Amino acid sequence: MMKQQNIKELVFETAVYSKEAVDLAAYVFSGRCGVKVLPGRSGARVRLTGGDGLDGLAGELANEALNQQCRIDLAKKNSKLAGMIVTKALLSACGGKNPGIRGGK
């Protein structure tokens, strides 16, 4: 591996990581180091620039991309269920029609 000073690049293959997941991960890490998402042949290239600890940050960014991808995967399956809960919670808090649920403190 040719290590150029303070620069590291990761390639996230499109077959495994969606662009949305990579973009979100890049955004989360944008406060910790320089992060740029560039187009690549097989997938999105993420270039990190910064000081010490860039190896660790790259690893954590890869984990974050996976975290975001798993969340996207879950949303495809669970969106109806998740939506019911959020809708009910927000509607009730606004004082929307309450079909009579009581309880709690």
Q: Which residues bind another protein (CB under 8 A)?
A: 1-4, 7-11, 13, 15-17, 24, 28-29, 31-32, 45, 47, 58-60, 62-64, 66-71, 73-75, 77-78, 80-82, 84-86, 88-90, 92-95, 98-105
Tell me how far, at minimum, the Cβ of 71 lies from another protein, in Å. Answer: 5
Q: How many CB atoms lie within 10 A of CB 46?
A: 25
| Between 37 and 66, CB nearer to another protein | 66
Q: Shortest approach of another protein to residue 89 CB, angstroms?
A: 5
Q: Is residue 47 within 8 Å of 7, Cβ to Cβ?
A: yes
The span from the CA of 84 to the CA of 28, in Å, is 28
Non-local (6+) Cβ contacts of 35 within 8 A are: 26, 29, 46, 47, 48, 61
Write down the least CB distance from residue 59 to another protein, Å: 3
Shortest distance (Å) from residue 61 CB to another protein: 9
Residues 12/44, Cβ–Cβ less than 8 Å: yes
